[in-house]
Every structure is written in C-alpha cells, then in structure tokens.
Structure 1
Amino acid sequence: MQRPAPAQKTASLRALLRTEPFVVAPAVHDIFSLRLVEQAGYQSACISGAMLSYSLLGVPDIGLLTLTECVEHCRRLTRVSSIPITADADAGYGNPRGVHYAVELFEEAGAAGLNIEDQVVPRRWASPGGKEVVPVGEMIAKIDAAQRARRDSNFMIIARTDAFACESTEQVIQRARAYQAAGADMLLPIALRTEDDIARLVRALDIPVTLSAGTGLVPSPSAASLPLERLRGLGVRRVSLTTLLPGAAVAGMRRSLDAMRGGAGSGDDGGMAAEGAASLGALFHAQDQMDFEEALLL
C-alpha cells in the first residue's frame, strides 16, 4: 500500500485546518489504534505524551520519557500512517537549543507538527494548583528555535500553555498573543475554566485554537470536557481525543479477561474478542502482504 510522503502529510494537515471548520484527531498509542483511526475515516491523529508514558513506561506523565523514546515511537507510527500525526515534545527537552534539536528529530521522524509547552521543568503532573509556567520571553525563544529548525514550512509548531492554572484569563490571552506573534501555528491551552475562557481566547487570536478533550486523568475543572459540538460552536478548530482509544482498549481487555477467568467461553464477552481477532487480517492488509511476498519470491 503506497502511503503519502511526509511533506504530503504536513501539507494535508495545513489544508485540513484551512478548509475544515472543525478537526477531530484521536490520540494513537500503537499501530492497532492508528489502523482503527484510519479505517474509521479520521483525517488526522496525534500522539499523547501522557498515553505514551502509560503504555511504554507504566507511569503517569511525570517527565520520564526521553527524547529518543518519543522520536522512535513517532517514527514507527508515521512510517505506516496514511494520515498526518502530530507529536508531543513536553517542554522541548531543554533550552532553545534543545527545542531546535527536538524539532529536527521529530520532523525527520515524519511528524506533521509538535506540541511544545510552557511549563517549568521539572513539570508538575496533572494537579492544576501546583503548576508553574516559564516567563513569556523564555517560551518565545523556544518557539523561535522551533521555527528555525523546521525545514518544511508546513510542519506545525503547536504552542501549549498551562497558564490557566496560575494566571488570569487576561494574562493568558496576552501570553497567547505573544506566542502567536513569535510564530506559533496553533495554540493548545490546558485546563480552561469556563466557556467564556474559550470564546475570549478564540476571538483574541488569528491562529487556530486546539483543545485536548475528555482527558479524565485527574478530577480538574476544564471547559475542554464540553461536548464536541459545543466546542465547535465556540470556535475551537481542532480537538484531540486523548484517552478515547486507550480507555476503550482497557475496558475491552478487562471485560474479555474477566469473562475468561470465570471459566466462560470466549463468547461470554459478547463476542468482542472473537470479532476483533477475525478483523486483524483485513486491518493489517495481510492478503496484500502475502501477495507481495509471493511476487518477490518468484
């Protein structure tokens, strides 16, 4: 199966955001989830650092993932993907020089864009009350470094701000405008408190606003948990569904395992496992691979 080149995928994401009023990007954590997203007709996806930390290290998103681990996982996904995938670089792996290097590596790995956040390092996981953000000038320097590093102008620099946890809405808006002026292509605000926060931020910026919706990692007030149609109505241009697929996978695996542990037959999970297993060949184009192998061995 011929897949688009990286430059085609970055251009595709830009075109989506230019022509579509609302883009939904499920988070993918492995090739199973990526294939299902493609099969369901979604036109873009993302990699969540939080979900990657769970699946690779077995710990929450507490900053233990290395740059190399994240880049290599991104490469494995983008190599087999037909849709653009954005990646997560946390705070950029250091100072602006580290950001420059990270962007080079993620772009080479086939990412269509990269989240870079303004949290102080070492970062605080989840708890809104304990978060701190770097001075605006420090984040601007990182955005500038990211711009200098990318070779494809369509590669998206997504500035994430956690400032709603420690600043007023007006301060966050001023910060976001500074990020836009510095060259950010999209803004990802975390833990917005109200619908009005979203509406004001959208009105204040010319670049798209994207949200991470339905994370559910810890109890915290966040307007990002609003229904997707409401977010669209407020002017949000893109939403990443961070926990949709990992959550569904955990629930499904638990259900099947519980059914089998009780001595039941495989059908007692509602046939879910059997149905999934029967679809693997089609999901991964097994017949195409066998035909290709046979052609090569002639």
Structure 2
Amino acid sequence: MYGRQRLAEMIAEPEITVVPGVYDGISARLVEQQGFETGFLSGAGVSNSRLAQPDVGFLTLPDVADQSREIADAVDIPIWVDADTGYGNAVNVHRTVRKLANAGAAAVMIEDQEWPKRCGHMAGKSVVPFDEAVTKIEAAADARDEHAPNMLLKARTDATEPDGLDEAIRRLNAFADAGADVVFADALRSADDIRRVAADVDAPLSVNMGFGVRSRPTTPLIPAARLEEMGVAVVIYPRLITAAATAGMKRGLEELATAVETREEYEAPDAVVDWDTYTDLIGKPAVDDLEGRFRADSG
C-alpha cells in the first residue's frame, strides 16, 4: 500500500536510493516522469512554495497532511514526508504519524530540534534533551506499528552543530534502537563526518545534498556514487526542485516583460514547455478517456 513495501525494498538494496524533493502534485509527477523511483515531500519546499515563508516552523500538521494526500494521489511512486518535530511532544508525534499514514505517506521523518524548528542548514539550531528525543521516536514507531506497519520511519538529528558529532552518532544509534528504519544527521560539515557516521551508526544512513547541482556553505556537494561508496543508503535533494522552479518562473517572467514591450510577435520557446507536454503532465489525456467512457448517451 502506498508503495511502502517497494520503498523498504529500495533501502535494502546495495545501491543508494536517490530521492529528489517535491512540494506539490506537479513537482512529484515530474520526478516520477523523469524516472526517479521515490520523492521526498520537503517541509522547506512546502513552506517556501505554499506560504512564501522560510523553513522556521510555520507549517502545521494540517498543512503537511493535506499536501501529502494530494501528492500521494497524483503519483504512483512512494513519497517520504517531512513531519518536522512531529508538532509537539511524544503524544503529538504519535498522532502525526497516524495522520500522515492515512494521508498516504510511505515514510515519515521526525527530527529532534526544539520548536520552532528551522532549516538544518541555518544557524541557531537547538535540540531537545536526549531522552525526550528518543521517546518521540519510540512514539513514532509505536504509531507506525499500530497503524501502518509497512511504513518507514526516518529519524533525524540536528545535534551536530550545537553538541558535536559524537552526540549526533549517539542519538542516531538510540533512534535506531527505538525503531527507526533510516537515520539522518543533517548539516554534516565534511566527507569525513559522513564516513564516520556511516561507519559508527548501525542503521541505513540518509544524507542531504540540498540543491544537488549547486554547492552550499554547509555540507559539501558529493556525487551519489561517491556517497554510496562511503556507506550512505539514501540521499535526498530537498532544495533542488523549488530552486529550479524559481529559476524557471523568473526566466518566464523576464521573457514576458520583454514580450509586452513590443508590438511584434515575440516567442521564447525555451522558457516554457509546449502545450501538449504540459497537458500530458497534468493528466489531461486520462480525463479525456474518462469523459469518453462515461459520457451520457445524448441520443
């Protein structure tokens, strides 16, 4: 159901699982059409695109559950869902996992930041105490086992910046013991840090490569093939598609500004997809087929 078993099988394979970020139905469908086998509903992507706000804790559970439901309905690939801190204490985490399971999530990610959380690559992060963090993962695992046994649980720590790499590793191992299927230390600062976490944590490791095709001042940009050699099981690219969409929209508007300043016909075909490509992407042929099958006989 919802590709959960398929996702678990991907993680179990020796090849690294590549997970582009998505933030709405059309971005998820593009990921699927380009041949990627899974997508990651980025909390930052939803906050940026839906609210035009940074990833600093403005999203709520209803925001994420609604977006998850629409995306899961739009594609056949399994979708990981970023549930931030679970929107409260361990009891809230339990409810969050149930709600997102019902919304079609194939995997749910819970992190250990204090609320309001912030993007893992922003300064000023802080994490909840160790015991509280572990208890929240235990609650998430309990909800998973009760309501969606095949759904994966991803546990994230942001402890590296405030408390050091040793503490991040301690937390990840505790999260795995508490029932997490995949673990994730965000904003690791070097390839050596990634290698050490992969070697010292007894669970499949996920890392964040941000834009994927452009470097950032935090985690270095490392190709997926090299990450696989370093022992990484999953790599996510949560910032790629929102940044690429922003670049595309900006380019289109710049072309429009040029077009409205001239009396001559002006076209910029490289700035937009053609009509048939776009209508195919949004499922118009399938709607046409349904209309043909269920048209009332006018005769």
Q: TM-score, normalised on structure 1?
A: 0.91
Map of 1:164 onto structure 2: 160
Looking at structure 2, the residues matched to 227 and 185 of structure 1 have their Cα atoms a distance apart, in angstroms, of: 24
| Corresponding residue of 1:178 | 174
Q: How far does residue 267 in structure 1 lie from its aligned partner after superposition? A: 2.7
In the TM superposition, residue 266 of structure 1 has moved relative to its aligned partner by 5.1
Moved more, 162-171 or 62-71: 162-171
Partner of 1:149: 143
Q: What secondary structure does 2:153 align onto? A: strand
In structure 2, how many angstroms separate the alpha carbons of the residues matched to 1:287 and 1:132?
Answer: 49
Distance of 2:233 and 2:243 partners within structure 1 = 24
Q: Which amino acid aligns with 2:43?
A: G
Identify which range, 45-54 or 228-237, moves more after superposition.
Answer: 228-237
The CA deviation at 1:288 is 2.6
Conserved 8 A contact 1:188-1:209: yes
- Select the residue among 243, 246, 249 that pairs with 1:247: 243
2:42 to 45, 48, 67: 48
Higher mean alpha-carbon deviation, 16-25 vs 59-68, is at: 16-25
Q: 1:242 to 1:17 in 2, by over 3 A?
A: same
Matched-pair contact (CA < 8 Å) for 1:129–1:166 = no
Cα distance in 2 for residues equivalent to 1:290 and 1:168: 56
Cα displacement (A) at 1:137: 0.8
Tell me the secondary structure at the aligned position of residue 166 of structure 1. Answer: helix
Which stretch shows the higher mean deviation, 277-286 or 247-256?
A: 277-286
Deviation per residue, 1:193-229 (Å, 9 max, x gap)? 1111111111122321111212499964214x22222
Q: In 2 relative to 1, CA 209–243 (structure 1 residues): closer, same or farther, beyond 3 Å?
A: same
Q: Which amino acid aligns with 1:197?
A: D
1:191 CA drift (Å): 0.9
Please say if residues 126 and 218 of structure 1, whose CA atoms lie closer than 8 Å, have aligned partners that are also in contact. no
Moved over 3 A (4+): 124-129, 215-220
Identity %: 35
Q: CA deviation at 1:23?
A: 0.9
Alpha-carbon distance change, 13 to 158 in structure 1, aligned in 2, over 3 angstroms? same
Instruction: Mark the runs of 5 or more structure 1 residues left unpaired by the alignment.
Output: none
Matched, 1:36 2:34: no
> Which residue is equivalent to 1:191?
187
1:154-182 CA distances to partner (integer Å, 9 max, x unpaired)?
21111111011112222221221111111
- Give me the TM-score of the superposition, normalised by structure 2: 0.90
In the alignment, structure 1 residue 105 sits paired with structure 2 residue 88: no
Compute the RMSD of aligned alpha carbons: 2.0
Unmatched 5+ stretches in structure 2: none
User: Which amino acid is the alignment partner of residue 140 of structure 1?
Assistant: V
| CA distance, structure 1, for counterparts of residue 257 and residue 122 of structure 2 | 39
